């Protein structure tokens, strides 16, 4: 219907409204009103009540009139409230790079930088004395049963990216764990720790590995206390950190380690510089990857400044997520993703895991809870398929996914543009922008 047709429709509507209100008013005034003994004010109220449908129709006509008479202004106002297109530079051989706009980016998601300081509980404020003590304990092999392993054995922060580059970490006696050691960098921003989220704080987490038989193998937390008390060099350090009259306990030991870990933060990344205002910090491919990271829905789990829904920033309803969320048997079988169900009930078909942070992810291979994948491009394909239900294909026509629910016995057809190899490459490039400058320098120097 063109503008002329809308005007004609409005004219007819207005005439019908006038006739309708006139007939209704006369009926109320000369028939219904006298029969009911209503006062003049109540007659008007009855007229409006009986004519509520006409009132609603009048409001609709006003909206149509606004759109007809001010179409450009109205559409611009609505569009400004709904979308916030990101201008991206297209790669070009010359300096005059054209600008393209990517539609569909929702204004609601705000990209944020990582704070310099991780929050600490009120009972364990971060102090220089605790940090110095915690660093020493973190690297002390005396906390393991055979004095061969320390926290840093699996979480190398002096020379590495806070992990050990092994699918499963080595424990005492040559034991190999079934889960990949996550990086300790930026762990102070996580709301729950361990892959299954069983620790609610860094202090709780620090008490786990020393007494795990497959890790550091100490028989009890009391035995850990005894090991530390046996070393007279620790007495002055604990006195400076907690007070001269305080005994050395496991609570203080884990508090010091946690205080040290809260200083292991990396906000020195190209991504952080870009969000702070440096428009040259990200390449064209990284900007495209950043847009895809949002539009594909990666931000639903890897959100906030730490790129993890299990972080202290605007905590979501759940820090743990089902994995896999979509059915892809070839990935599940190839990488043995169903052998460990994490925090889910034993025997479940789906696992439940804490959402890991993606900061420094390009430096922390291998990936996933079991360390079964050592290629970041492959991880992007796996997560796009298993968690977002996306198809990875270079065929633009390959855009349909059939989802069968055995519980509801329903079949759904989901249509969405597939991720191409270039899309995967761009997302990987964006993930590289989450790498710390100083950790990346180590990697390029051959240390990592």
pLDDT score for 92: 34
Cβ-Cβ contacts under 8 Å for 221 (sequence gap 6 or more): 207, 210, 211, 250
Higher pLDDT, 149 or 100: 149
If you average pLDDT over residues 263-285, what whole number do you get? 98
**Six-digit token pair at 264?**
């292991």
pLDDT score for 212: 98
The closest alpha carbon to 89, from 277, 279, 270, belongs to 279
What is the C-alpha separation between 445 and 342, in angstroms, rounded? 36
Cβ-Cβ contacts under 8 Å for 41 (sequence gap 6 or more): none
Higher pLDDT, 17 or 285: 285
pLDDT score for 48: 62
Helix 233-242 vs helix 250-261: crossing angle, to nearest 10: 70
pLDDT score for 86: 41
Asked if residue 228 has pLDDT above 80, the reply is: yes
pLDDT score for 412: 84
Asked if residue 420 has pLDDT above 70, the reply is: yes
Higher pLDDT, 374 or 401: 374
For 411, the 3-state DSSP assignment is: strand
If you average pLDDT over residues 362-367, what whole number do you get? 98
pLDDT score for 103: 47
The closest alpha carbon to 183, from 357, 379, 432, 378, belongs to 357
Average pLDDT, the chain: 84
Higher pLDDT, 247 or 104: 247
Whole-Å CA distances, 214 to 162, 345, 366 = 20, 22, 20
Continuous H helices in 28-96: 33-36, 40-50, 52-69, 71-82
Higher pLDDT, 220 or 40: 220
Asked if residue 392 has pLDDT above 70, the reply is: yes
Provide Rg for the chain, Cα atoms.
31
101: confidence class by pLDDT, cuts 50, 70, 90: very low
If you average pLDDT over residues 70-76, what whole number do you get? 39
- Of 187-201, 311-325, 366-380, give the lowest mean pLDDT range: 311-325
Q: Do 103 and 85 contact (CB within 8 A), yes or no? A: yes
If you average pLDDT over residues 148-157, what whole number do you get? 97
If you average pLDDT over residues 138-144, what whole number do you get? 98
Per-residue pLDDT tens digits for 318-355: 899 999 999 899 999 999 999 999 999 998 889 999 99
Per-residue pLDDT tens digits for 52-61: 665 666 666 5
Pair type for strands 400-405 and 86-89 = unpaired
The closest alpha carbon to 316, from 326, 333, 302, 334, belongs to 302
| Active-site residue, from 215, 225, 378, 429 | 215
Asked if residue 73 has pLDDT above 50, the reply is: no
Angle value at C-alpha 136, between 133 and 139, nearest 5 degrees: 150
28: confidence class by pLDDT, cuts 50, 70, 90: low
Asked if residue 113 has pLDDT above 80, the reply is: yes
Per-residue pLDDT tens digits for 180-197: 999 999 999 999 999 999
pLDDT score for 224: 98
pLDDT score for 108: 75
Say what the pTM is.
0.75
Say how many CA atoms lie within 13 Å of 277 toward its Cβ: 0
What is the C-alpha separation between 46 and 40, in angstroms, rounded? 10
**Six-digit token pair at 241?**
């950190």
29: confidence class by pLDDT, cuts 50, 70, 90: low
The conformation of residue 32, written as its DSSP 8-state character, comes to I
User: Dihedrals φ, ψ of 21, to 5°?
Assistant: -65, -35
Asked if residue 40 has pLDDT above 50, the reply is: yes
**Six-digit token pair at 413?**
């057809």
Q: What is the torsion angle, in degrees rounded to the nearest 10, for the CA atoms of residue 345, residue 350, residue 355 and residue 361?
A: 130
* Whether residue 215 lies in the annotated active site: yes
If you average pLDDT over residues 374-380, what whole number do you get? 98
- Cis check for the bond before 366: say yes or no (omega within 30 of 0): yes
121: confidence class by pLDDT, cuts 50, 70, 90: very high
């Amino acid at each position: 219907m063109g503008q002329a047709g809308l005007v004609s429709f409005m004219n007819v509507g207005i005439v019908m409204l006038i006739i309708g209100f006139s007939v209704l008013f006369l009926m109320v005034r000369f028939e219904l009103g006298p029969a009911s003994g209503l006062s003049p004010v109540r007659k008007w109220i009855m007229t409006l009540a009986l004519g509520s449908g006409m009132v609603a129709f009048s409001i609709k006509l006003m909206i149509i009139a606004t759109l007809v008479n001010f179409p450009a202004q109205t559409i611009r106002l609505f569009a400004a409230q709904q979308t916030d297109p990101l201008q991206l530079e297209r790669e070009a051989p010359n300096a005059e790079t054209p600008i393209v706009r990517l539609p569909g980016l929702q204004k609601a998601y705000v990209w944020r930088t990582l704070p310099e300081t991780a929050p600490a509980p009120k009972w364990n404020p971060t102090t220089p004395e605790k940090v110095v003590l915690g660093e020493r304990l973190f690297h002390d092999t005396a906390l393991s049963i055979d004095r061969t392993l320390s926290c840093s054995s699996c979480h190398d922060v002096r020379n590495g990216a806070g992990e050990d580059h092994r699918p499963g970490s080595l424990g005492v006696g040559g034991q190999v764990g079934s889960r990949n050691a996550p990086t300790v960098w930026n762990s102070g921003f996580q709301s729950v720790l361990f892959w299954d989220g069983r620790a609610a704080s860094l202090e709780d987490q620090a008490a786990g590995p020393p007494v795990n038989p497959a890790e550091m193998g100490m028989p009890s937390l009391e035995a850990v206390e005894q090991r530390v008390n046996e070393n007279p060099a620790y007495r002055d350090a604990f006195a400076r950190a907690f007070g001269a009259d305080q005994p050395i306990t496991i609570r203080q030991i884990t508090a010091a380690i946690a205080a040290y870990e809260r200083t292991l933060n990396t906000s020195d990344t190209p991504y952080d510089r870009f969000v702070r205002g440096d428009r040259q910090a990200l390449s064209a491919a990284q900007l495209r990857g950043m847009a895809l990271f949002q539009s594909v829905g990666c931000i639903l789990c890897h959100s906030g400044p730490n790129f993890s829904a299990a972080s202290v920033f605007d905590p979501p309803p759940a820090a743990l997520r089902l994995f896999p969320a979509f059915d892809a048997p070839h990935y599940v079988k190839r990488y043995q993703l169903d052998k460990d169900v994490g925090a889910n009930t034993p025997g479940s078909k789906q696992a439940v895991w804490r959402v890991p942070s993606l900061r420094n992810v390009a430096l922390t291979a291998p990936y996933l809870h079991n360390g079964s994948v050592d290629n970041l491009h492959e991880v992007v394909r796996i997560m796009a398929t298993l968690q977002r239900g996306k198809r990875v294909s270079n065929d633009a026509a390959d855009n349909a996914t059939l989802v069968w629910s055995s519980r509801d016995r329903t079949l759904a057809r989901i249509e969405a543009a597939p991720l191409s190899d270039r899309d995967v490459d761009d997302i990987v490039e964006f993930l590289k922008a989450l790498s710390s400058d100083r950790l990346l320098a180590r990697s390029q120097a051959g240390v990592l």
